[in-house]
């Protein structure tokens, strides 16, 4: 039977950056999906619109209850309300954390390849960036602990962690996250964990998400965990995220640094987030099954029909990280733009030139048509 995720939705001309930034290209780049959000979210937004007044907003009781219940049920974390900081987006929070905990001459550290804002927020704080490449061992991407020890300095103040990892698609294990947190403890770093893709793990039984929220108290006191419903329920354009900051002094410093640099959170975003956390689970399960099917079809296609490309099957997200260095072109993303009319994410922006990121959060037929264009261009 046809699935609701198979239904194409015309997005060109709606002001979305995915389709309208380069309307002449077939887009598989930025991380938003081509699926309509769940009916419960649409209903909540209609109800709020029908009220007719859109003044300055704050988090209402229903949202606060839904967030705490989500953290308890899905993340296994009992979080007091006062540990939550509501935010108008996750990327500004990365910038805010670096500005809050770094001063002149300091540095922020992260592991590459990684979501491009991780490689740019140090400019906001006018501090240095230290990067260490992830290593590939026994068929999966891991941390290069020895290289991290060599790279960290006594001026490093913040470690930015992406878990699940974008673009590698890894859901890091409990042991790995404990080791990251211990590394931060040993070097007196604030651990900022971006967990925006934590509800997009394609097989939660095989690779469960281990959240920074689950760290033992001695390690958790130096953590800022960033979460949002935006990627999972495709509401990124509404701009809502939240931070969980257990330590009072860290939380005060984070909030004080905000100053007047972050926009108000819009009145609709709160209600969409509440509906996602309260009612979005059945839809999420259907989405994961569909994305897993897309992932499997994509991996098989690349391995069987695309000589010169290699891929490791992602455990999480709807983003495939593809090694195109053997294709023999200087810039693979540019090559597929010129030869196939495709808009792909260029690995250079993630710190790894020669790679491409492909968004498979779309109807399967569209994904396969895009892959066919890649095959032809090879």
What are the mean pLDDT values of the chain's consecutive 10-residue runs (378 residues total)? 83 97 98 97 98 97 98 97 97 97 97 98 97 97 98 98 98 98 98 98 97 97 98 97 98 94 92 98 98 98 98 98 96 98 98 98 98 97
**Cβ partners under 8 Å of residue 146, min gap 6:** none
Q: Counting beta carbons within 10 angstroms of the beta carbon of residue 163, is it exposed (0 to 12), middle (13 to 18) or buried (19 or more)? A: buried
Q: What is the pLDDT of residues 68-85, one digit of tens each?
A: 999 999 999 999 999 999
**In this structure, is the dihedral angle defined by the CA atoms of residues 112, 113, 118 and 123, taken in order, positive or negative?**
positive
Closest to 322 measured CA to CA, from 171, 169, 197: 169
Q: Is omega for the bond preceding 164 within 30 degrees of 0, making it cis? A: yes
- State which H helix or E strand residue 144 sits in: none
As assigned by CATH, the class of the 54-278 domain is: alpha beta
Residue spans of the domains in the chain: they are 4-30+281-377, 54-278
The whole-angstrom separation of Cα 370 and Cα 375 is: 9
Which phi-psi region, left, alpha or beta, contains residue 263 (left: φ > 0; alpha: ψ -120 to 50)?
beta
CB 68 within 8 A of CB 82: no
pLDDT for 1? 38
CATH 1.10.3720.10 for domain 4-30+281-377, yes or no, is: no
pTM score over 0.95: yes
Residue with tokens 């649409």: 42
**Cβ partners under 8 Å of residue 338, min gap 6:** none
Q: What is the pLDDT of residues 4-19, one digit of tens each?
A: 899 999 999 999 999 9
């Amino acid at each position: 039977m046809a699935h609701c995720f198979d239904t194409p939705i015309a997005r060109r001309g709606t002001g979305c950056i995915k389709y309208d930034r380069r309307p002449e290209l077939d887009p598989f780049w930025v991380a938003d999906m081509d699926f309509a959000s769940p009916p419960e979210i649409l209903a909540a937004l209609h109800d709020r619109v029908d009220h007719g007044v859109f003044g300055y907003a704050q988090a209402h009781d229903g949202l606060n209850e839904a967030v705490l219940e989500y953290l308890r049920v899905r993340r296994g974390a009992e979080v007091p309300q006062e540990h939550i900081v509501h935010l108008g987006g996750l990327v500004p929070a990365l910038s805010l954390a670096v500005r809050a905990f770094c001063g002149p001459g300091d540095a922020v550290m992260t592991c590459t390849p990684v979501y491009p804002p991780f490689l740019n927020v140090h400019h906001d704080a006018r501090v240095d960036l230290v990067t260490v490449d992830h290593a590939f061992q026994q068929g999966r991407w891991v941390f290069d602990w020895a290289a991290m020890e060599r790279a960290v300095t006594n001026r490093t103040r913040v470690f930015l962690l992406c878990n699940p990892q974008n673009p590698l698609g890894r859901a890091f294990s409990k042991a790995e996250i404990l080791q990251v947190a211990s590394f931060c403890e040993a070097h007196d770093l604030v651990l900022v964990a971006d967990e925006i893709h934590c509800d997009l793990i394609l097989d939660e039984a095989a690779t469960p998400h281990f959240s920074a929220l689950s760290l033992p108290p001695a390690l958790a006191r130096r953590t800022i965990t960033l979460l949002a419903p935006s990627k999972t329920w495709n509401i990124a354009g509404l701009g809502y995220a939240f931070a969980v900051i257990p330590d009072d002094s860290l939380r005060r410093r984070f909030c004080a640094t905000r100053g007047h640099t972050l926009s108000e959170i819009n009145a609709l975003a709160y209600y969409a987030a509440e509906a996602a956390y309260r009612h979005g689970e059945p839809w999420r399960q259907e989405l994961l099954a569909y994305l897993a099917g897309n992932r499997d079809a994509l991996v098989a296609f690349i391995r069987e029909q695309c000589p010169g490309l290699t891929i490791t099957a992602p455990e999480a997200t709807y983003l495939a990280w593809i090694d195109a260095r053997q294709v023999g072109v200087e810039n693979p993303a540019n090559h597929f733009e010129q030869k196939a009319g495709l808009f792909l994410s260029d690995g250079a922006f993630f710190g790894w030139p020669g790679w491409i990121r492909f968004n498979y959060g779309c109807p399967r037929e569209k994904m396969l048509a895009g892959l066919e264009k890649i095959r032809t261009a090879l």
